[in-house]
Amino acid sequence: MAAELRERYPEATIDMIPSGGGRFEVTVDGIPIYQKSKLGRHAKPGEIAQLLAKARGQAADARR
């Protein structure tokens, strides 16, 4: 997944931070866009990239 995101967004800084307890979270600029603990499932293929694109679009809209 990290490789897919790095390819789609080469300008982004992507960090994989190990954790315990089955946690899987994705944040953009400190804002969570995916939390396995809240959804009770792992992300579907392409889901994180889609959420990231949406989050980036909203951030761009806020700057206008």
pLDDT digits (tens, 9 = 90+) for 8-31: 888 888 887 778 888 888 888 888
Q: Which of 61, 53, 60 has its CA nearest to residue 8?
A: 53
Contacts of residue 15, defined as CB under 8 A and 6 or more positions apart, other chains included, come to none
Domain boundaries, the chain: 2-63
Read off the pTM. 0.72
Q: Which residue has the higher pLDDT, 50 or 16?
A: 50
% the chain with pLDDT above 90: 27
